[in-house]
Chains A and B, each alone.
Chain A
Amino acid sequence: MATPVEAHEEGTGPVAEPASQPAETSPRREEFKDLVRRLFTEVGLVLISFVILVALWLVVIRIYDLHPFYARRPPDVFDYLFTDPEAAANRTLIFERVPATLRDMLIGYVAGTLVGLSLALGFYVSRTAKALVMPWVLIFQTIPILVFIALIVIWFGRGLLSVALISGLITFFPTLIYATAGLSSASKESCDLLRVYGASEWTILLRVRLIYSLRYVTAAAKIAVPGSLGGALLAELLATGEGVGYFITSYNILPRAYDVLWSSVGVIVVLASAIYTAVTMIEFWINGRFKIDSSVE
């Protein structure tokens, strides 16, 4: 994988430079190569997971002897979406709903992260506030999200605000936990350095601690982003009726209901894995960019 990049470097360029370029490459190049290598690993792992999932899928259908009326196998889904005479229309039916789901997910993730970060900052600044408010946060964590969905629908209706609230609720807690840990994790040396230069605690908070907590926020994203996707789907199937989540309950009023159902599930699975891979890559890139693992800032 790294070879194509190297080969291009040593290859004959318009200006044939003598061998003054040693085997070292610039840091930028190294970073890029690392990224590409990582991308291949991640994609490879996802593909292996897929193969296992598909195998499980087939095995389960065989074991439980599912009636073909209800069950679809991977080849059936592929047929429905790509080789069927009406494949194009079938694809449109499902794919046209994907942007709405992505939008719902994004709104939720952004809202949840903002609230989680703000709370973490607030709790860091005032431990009194933390002691007062945290018990409620913990109590709310024991209540199933569905109860809040019901309340939100009752109070705020079925629009985008409700979607933001629902999927935001799912994402804000992991972000809060991780960001709280992250804010405390700044290296002593960095903070002392700024203090020596007369910086106030507030400046230190913003310039140093937030950066250190970035690593934790990206780690939280691996839980929070799939969570916001789940929240978006829940909101769609219970509140708004938009997006791919709609098919999860309403497939049975459509023609070729079970094809629609299994294809939607397949699409969601692919979507979720792609998103998870993207988040992992972003986390990797950010860790590299900010060089957080080195001991001296």
Chain B
Amino acid sequence: MAIQVDGQDAGDGPAAEQRDERDDAPAGDRANLIVTAVRLVLLPFVGVFTGLLIWYLVARFVIGDSRLLASPLEVVQHLQDNWGFYYRNTRTTAIRSGQGLVIGVGLAVSTSILVAVFTEIERLSLRVATTVFAIPTIALAPVVSIIFEDQKFVAFAAFAVYFVVFIALMVGLRSVDATVTDLIRALGGGRLRLLRKARIQAAVPSFFAGVRVAVPAAVINVVIIETLGAESGLGVGIIGAMSALDSTLAWGVGVMASAITLFGYGLNALLAKLIAPRFSAAADTA
């Protein structure tokens, strides 16, 4: 039985994108347009809705015990009933994540520009950063707690954010086309001019991609530290849920944490839309 792989040609080329080459249908083909619209818009909604439906049915009729698996409606109910608890702790975690994000991004931007100016240490610092990044952050949690005490939440988040954004920036700064570099050099430009004219611009998309990855990293790292010992924050809720075997609470915490992350994504996307165009326009200046 042959499996239909939609009968299209294989594509080649760099697949840093996840673009499916089979989507390159000739434009103006009406039927194709409708099919694509269905796939890109309708099906995801159907998928999410079906998933929720399956969840509800399994929870209600297969499991039946709402401590074990609560249905989506019961989770919403739980959120409503305990809104004070959820709001307080979500706010704490969100503030800590936000502060960690800002500090981490700030540090990453400044150090990467520094390293970009002193190009000799570029490759080494990127490599050192990826090596340190390969160390599980959880292992450093107790050490960070000892060093920073009350600021440990923000410090831990900033730490994780820093590495993500720094690596993204370094990759971006190095991604300038060789022809552009040659051109600027030929026109008599040195490192700094190269930096201003070409590299920073090349780094911008990478930067926003890095921040996008850093948002959930900040949230989860704050929650991890909260789990290890805190008075408030969503991590405390997780520990409570685990010891009380209360899966509804766990889901509730998950929903709120997800909300923080989605909010962060939204902010990042907004900033990207506002800031990125300014940088691509700069290419035209002499």
| A5-13, A28-36, A87-95, A225-233: which lies at the interface | A225-233
State whether the Cβ of B114 lies closer than 8 Å to any Cβ in chain A.
no
State whether the Cβ of B18 lies closer than 8 Å to any Cβ in chain A.
yes
Alpha-carbon distance between A273 and B131 when the two chains are bound, in angstroms: 7
State whether the Cβ of A125 lies closer than 8 Å to any Cβ in chain B.
yes
CB < 8 Å neighbour of A136 from B13, B51, B128: B51
A188 contacts B12, C-beta separation under 8 Å: yes
Greatest chain A CB density within 10 A among B10, B219, B238, B262 is at B10
State whether the Cβ of B142 lies closer than 8 Å to any Cβ in chain A.
yes
Interface string of A119-157 (1 = CB under 8 A from B): 000001101100111111001011111111111011100
CB < 8 Å neighbour of B142 from A190, A216, A251: A251
B17 contacts A181, C-beta separation under 8 Å: yes
State whether the Cβ of A116 lies closer than 8 Å to any Cβ in chain B.
no
- Residues in B with CB closer than 8 Å to A197 are none
Alpha-carbon distance between A264 and B135 when the two chains are bound, in angstroms: 13
B11 contacts A134, C-beta separation under 8 Å: no
State whether the Cβ of B39 lies closer than 8 Å to any Cβ in chain A.
yes
A64 contacts B147, C-beta separation under 8 Å: yes
Q: Chain B binding site: helix, strand, loop or mixed by DSSP?
A: helix
Closest Cβ of chain A: how far from B255's Cβ, in Å?
A: 8
State whether the Cβ of A25 lies closer than 8 Å to any Cβ in chain B.
no
Q: With A45-B127, A135-B48 in contact, do A229 and B3 touch (Cβ < 8 Å)?
A: no
Residues facing A in B96-128 (CB within 8 A) are 124, 127-128
State whether the Cβ of B269 lies closer than 8 Å to any Cβ in chain A.
no
State whether the Cβ of B282 lies closer than 8 Å to any Cβ in chain A.
no
Closest Cβ of chain B: how far from A130's Cβ, in Å?
A: 9
CB < 8 Å neighbour of A233 from B43, B138, B242: B138
Q: How many residues of A contact B (CB 8 A)?
A: 79
Alpha-carbon distance between A264 and B43 when the two chains are bound, in angstroms: 48
| B82-90, B169-177, B199-207, B221-229: which lies at the interface | B221-229
Alpha-carbon distance between A128 and B224 when the two chains are bound, in angstroms: 36
Residues facing B in A196-238 (CB within 8 A) are 200-202, 204-205, 208-209, 216, 222, 226, 229-230, 233-234, 237-238
Q: Chain A binding site: helix, strand, loop or mixed by DSSP?
A: helix
Closest Cβ of chain B: how far from A105's Cβ, in Å?
A: 10
Alpha-carbon distance between A237 and B141 when the two chains are bound, in angstroms: 12
Interface string of A142-175 (1 = CB under 8 A from B): 1111111111011100000000000000000000
State whether the Cβ of A254 lies closer than 8 Å to any Cβ in chain B.
no
Closest Cβ of chain A: how far from B38's Cβ, in Å?
A: 8
State whether the Cβ of B276 lies closer than 8 Å to any Cβ in chain A.
no
Closest Cβ of chain A: how far from B205's Cβ, in Å?
A: 17
State whether the Cβ of A66 lies closer than 8 Å to any Cβ in chain B.
yes
Greatest chain B CB density within 10 A among A134, A142, A191 is at A142
Residues facing B in A45-86 (CB within 8 A) are 45-46, 48-49, 52-53, 60, 64, 66, 70-71
State whether the Cβ of B21 lies closer than 8 Å to any Cβ in chain A.
yes
Alpha-carbon distance between A264 and B141 when the two chains are bound, in angstroms: 12
A272 contacts B220, C-beta separation under 8 Å: no
Residue of B nearest to A144 (CB): B220
Alpha-carbon distance between A205 and B257 when the two chains are bound, in angstroms: 39
B44 contacts A66, C-beta separation under 8 Å: no
Residue of B nearest to A252 (CB): B142
B138 contacts A181, C-beta separation under 8 Å: no
Alpha-carbon distance between A143 and B215 when the two chains are bound, in angstroms: 11
State whether the Cβ of B254 lies closer than 8 Å to any Cβ in chain A.
yes
A269 contacts B238, C-beta separation under 8 Å: no
- Residues in B with CB closer than 8 Å to A114 are none
Closest Cβ of chain B: how far from A32's Cβ, in Å?
A: 24
State whether the Cβ of A182 lies closer than 8 Å to any Cβ in chain B.
yes
Interface string of B231-266 (1 = CB under 8 A from A): 000110010011001110011011101100110010
Greatest chain A CB density within 10 A among B12, B69, B131 is at B131
State whether the Cβ of A118 lies closer than 8 Å to any Cβ in chain B.
no
Alpha-carbon distance between A201 and B6 when the two chains are bound, in angstroms: 9
Alpha-carbon distance between A60 and B4 when the two chains are bound, in angstroms: 60
B143 contacts A262, C-beta separation under 8 Å: yes
Sample of 20 A–B contacts (CB below 8 Å): A49-B128, A49-B131, A142-B258, A143-B257, A150-B250, A151-B247, A185-B15, A186-B12, A187-B12, A189-B12, A201-B2, A202-B3, A230-B136, A233-B136, A234-B224, A248-B141, A268-B136, A268-B139, A272-B139, A273-B131
Given contacts A181-B17, A188-B9, A248-B142, 4 further A-B contacts (CB under 8 A): A134-B47, A188-B11, A238-B227, A249-B228
Lowest 7 CB-CB distances: which A-B pairs, in order? Answer: A230-B136, A132-B47, A191-B10, A131-B43, A185-B15, A147-B254, A276-B134
